[in-house]
Amino acid sequence: MTGLLQHISLPGDEIPWLHEIRTNGKNVFASVGIPTAKNEAWKYTRLRELNADDFVISLPQQNLSAPQAELPFDAYKIYFENGIFNPAMSELPQGIEILPLIEVIMFHPQYRQLINTQLIEKRFPFSALNVAYLNEGIFIHIDSRVEIKKPLALIYHTDTRGQNLLCNIHNLIVVEEASSAKIVEFHYYNGEVKSRYLANIVNEIYIRRNAKLCHYKIQNEAFKAHHLALNYVDVAENGSYNSFCLQKGADVSRNETRVLLKEPKASAEVNGAYIMNGWATIDTTTDIEHLSSCTTSHQLIKGVVGGDAKGVFQGKIHIAPEAIQTEGTQLHKALLLTDTAEVDVKPELEIFADDVKCSHGAASGELDEEQLFYMRSRGISEEDARQLLIAAYLDDAISKIEDEKIAAWIKLWAK
Amino acid sequence: MTKTPLLEIEDLCARVCDKEIIKGFNLTINEGEVHALMGPNGAGKSTLSNILCGKSGYEVTSGSIRFKGQDLLAMSPEERAREGIFLCMQYPVEIPGVPVTTFLKHAVNAIRKHRGEPELDTMEFVKMVREEGKKLGLDADMIKRAVNVGFSGGEKKRLETLQMAVLKPDFAILDEADSGLDIDALKVVSEGVNALRNGKRAMLVITHYQRLLNYIIPDFVHVYADGRIVKSGDKNLALELEEKGYAGFVREK
């Protein structure tokens, strides 16, 4: 039986700093284990299956199927095969530093401090696990005063070839002062449809003064897979983080976004949609920390749940005492397509400052029978009518995406 | 001249939640005919139109409905629409997030596909809708808006008429087409409807008031009360009804 924690030798083990944080990660994960329903942060999201599986740590392999991903917009394509960065296949832009993370840790120690030791805490067990294997992933460094118009597309292609792979990916993304960039993550699978694997992703993102990052993501993993992602975002003065995540694949998926609005006028948009069937669990967890004055955050998450599936939304807005004149809004809405579909929603507001605007809301409903009949009475099939209504339901969330081509692409996937 | 029956309703009885609403209804409508069905509130007029279009929640307890010789009650709402039935609704439904063009293009192509005609591409479709819309005096921007959302009463009825013009049904049911319309809008909608009258297309105009029948002149008028037709006649029956009121007819039965 080989579980999630294994002793394997990784590059850089001889570096004391790296060895220490890997060991810390291992120890923290070993002490917490796979979270159960007793763990408040994971009480709605079942992870039982992870106990039952043997895992193989994903290592570079030859002869993967490596299909070229079709994207209907122009982008710099950066490929990962089973979680392993493939520079040979990737198209790397000029003027942006993109390096394997391990190379940065080994040869550019000045950046090591960016790897956040808060990730190795008991409340983030999978980030601790991720750090225990800290090796794979990339470093993206966008220099100050650079505007990168063409999106950087991080294409994660998985083909497990019958193995239960554990893919740990750790990306470090720094957008320096007064720069802007768009990052698109596309997680997809081809190969044996029933294969199990765990994609365990950490993105550490630093947005410096007056900088802006748009971060868009589609998660469409194999239907028996687990996908657990943490986006840890640090935003400086007048910086902005604008994100949208569409989750539709995997058996269990969590997209967790923690944003620290550290300095005045920092802002965040954390939007998303999920659409699911079968027995899947899709979890969207957010934690927005307003730590300074005049910071703003907006969240709009829309879900469509069918079959016996379960949608989970846990959204937290924290406003620190010094964060006066801040604004934080949050809205989660879900459409339940069957009697057995479920959503669990846990909004939390922690407000320690006066003079703030803060709101949250949650609603769930069903497809409107009158609308369905109206469409059918015009000759539209019931299935098409449902699809049109579902697309309409998700439309306002997807329309938050500033890039029209990327929004159109995500709309195509949101079916 | 022998006429081809389009819709044949025989001894129809139906109920909603155990309440008998339609109690032995008979009506045959031939190709090209325009029939008016007039009745007081609560007579079951909307129940009849909903049953004809296949809305759920109504139980037909006996009788039959044949459309072009086929068993209409065995068909789904979309099959009925594709066979050529169109209900111009009394209260058109708002569909936020679905633009009129998207909605109508799906409908047109579903029906064209059923008829064995090639589907229209976006250009052809928009051109056709614009032409039909112009005839009805529709604001061109209306088709970009979400279906019926924020539409005035008159705009909703014009959109219903536009849909009818675009979908070209063989049989149209106009359920209280005049409700919520001022006199100018009523004229526009009626002209739109009249323009669609031809030797083959049949219509059933369901109305409460005689007023609408000044604009859409029927071939036959039926008085509908307590779940069945109590009297049939030509257009003059509508005038008689206006004079006497429904009470006179209900007592006659």
* Residue B253 pLDDT level (bands cut at 50, 70, 90): very low
Query: Chain A residue closest to B82 (CA)?
Result: A379
Nearest-CA distance A136 → chain B (Å): 42
Question: CB A374 to CB B89 under 8 A?
Answer: yes
Which residue is associated with the tokens 């294969």?
Answer: A195
Query: Chain B residue closest to A379 (CA)?
Result: B78
Which residue is associated with the tokens 């909608």?
Answer: B189
DSSP string, A323-390: -TT-EEEEEEEEEE-STT-EEEEEEEEEE--SS-EEEEEEEEE---HHHHHHHHTTT--HHHHHHHHH
CA dist B45 and B208 (Å) reads: 9
Question: CB A374 to CB B78 under 8 A?
Answer: no
Enumerate residue ranges in chain A where pLDDT < 50. Answer: 1
What one-character DSSP code corresponds to residue B141? G
The rounded Cα B70 to chain-centroid distance in angstroms is 19
Question: CB A380 to CB B106 under 8 A?
Answer: yes
Which residues of chain A make contact with B53, given a CB cutoff of 8 A? 377
Which residue is associated with the tokens 């306002």?
Answer: A396
* Residue B1 pLDDT level (bands cut at 50, 70, 90): low
Question: CB B81 to CB A381 under 8 A?
Answer: no
Question: CB B77 to CB A371 under 8 A?
Answer: no
Which residues of chain B make contact with A379, given a CB cutoff of 8 A? 78, 81-82, 107, 110-111, 114, 167
Strand order in the sheet with B220-225: B85-88, B171-175, B202-207, B34-38, B220-225, B228-233
Pick from B54, B77, B96: CB nearest A392: B96
pLDDT at B88: 94
Return the structure tokens found at B6: 């389009």
Nearest-CA distance A415 → chain B (Å): 15
Residue ranges of B 162-221 with Cβ closer than 8 A to chain A: 163, 167
Question: CB B78 to CB A393 under 8 A?
Answer: no
Return the structure tokens found at B172: 């149209």
CA dist A389 and B69 (Å) reads: 34
Helix and strand numbers (H, E) in chain B are 8, 12
Residue type, B87: L
Return the structure tokens found at B137: 């005096």
- In Å, what is the CA distance from A273 to each residue of A152, A402, B98? 21, 15, 18
Terminal-residue alpha carbon distance, chain A: 38
Which residues of chain A make contact with B77, given a CB cutoff of 8 A? 373, 376-377
CA dist A43 and A208 (Å) reads: 35
List alpha helices for A3-162, DSSP H: 16-32, 48-52, 101-107, 125-132
pLDDT at B251: 57
- Burial (Cβ within 10 Å: 0-12, 13-18, ≥19) of residue A387: middle
CA dist B242 and B216 (Å) reads: 16
- In Å, what is the CA distance from B209 to each residue of B27, B34, B205, B242, B245? 20, 16, 11, 8, 10
Residue type, A413: W
pLDDT at B140: 80
Return the structure tokens found at A102: 């391990």
Which residue is associated with the tokens 């297309």?
Answer: B201
Question: CB B78 to CB A376 under 8 A?
Answer: yes
Render pLDDT for B126-171 as a digit per residue (tens, 0 to 9). 999 999 988 887 888 888 999 999 998 888 999 999 999 999 999 9
Strands B19-30 and A310-319: unpaired
Nearest-CA distance A219 → chain B (Å): 24
CB contact at 8 A, A47 and A227: no
CA dist A303 and A324 (Å) reads: 32
| Domain architecture of chain B: domains with CATH | 5-252 (3.40.50.300)
- In Å, what is the CA distance from A398 to each residue of A233, A245, A414? 21, 9, 9
Nearest-CA distance B210 → chain A (Å): 27
Question: CB A375 to CB B107 under 8 A?
Answer: yes
ipTM for the whole complex? 0.95
Name beta bridge partners: B229. Answer: B224
Question: B7: how many CB neighbours lie within 10 A of its CB?
Answer: 23
Question: CB B110 to CB A395 under 8 A?
Answer: no
Residue type, A394: L
CB contact at 8 A, B165 and B138: no
Question: CB A376 to CB B97 under 8 A?
Answer: no
CA dist B184 and B215 (Å) reads: 12
Nearest-CA distance B81 → chain A (Å): 5
CA dist A22 and A14 (Å) reads: 11
**CA dihedral of B192, B195, B199, B201, whole degrees rounded to 10:** -20
Residue type, A396: D
Residue type, B30: N
CA dist B178 and B174 (Å) reads: 9
Nearest-CA distance A399 → chain B (Å): 11
Pick from A371, A376, A392: CB nearest B77: A376
- Scored b (16 or more CB within 10 A) or e, A289-301 reads bbbbbbbbbbbbb
Nearest-CA distance B54 → chain A (Å): 8
pLDDT at A185: 98
CB contact at 8 A, B23 and B227: yes
Q: Mean pLDDT score of chain B, rounded to an integer?
A: 91
Question: CB A375 to CB B95 under 8 A?
Answer: yes
- Which has more confidence, B179 or A390? A390
Pick from B53, B93, B107: CB nearest A370: B93
Question: CB B95 to CB A384 under 8 A?
Answer: no
CA dist A130 and B17 (Å) reads: 59
CA dist A233 and A260 (Å) reads: 6
Return the structure tokens found at A131: 């750090």
Name beta bridge partners: A261. Answer: A235, A290
pLDDT at A252: 96
Which residue is associated with the tokens 């750790």?
Answer: A170
pLDDT at B192: 87
Return the structure tokens found at A413: 């996937």
Render pLDDT for B43-97 as a digit per residue (tens, 0 to 9). 788 899 999 999 999 999 999 999 999 999 999 999 999 999 999 998 999 999 9
Strands B5-16 and B59-67: antiparallel
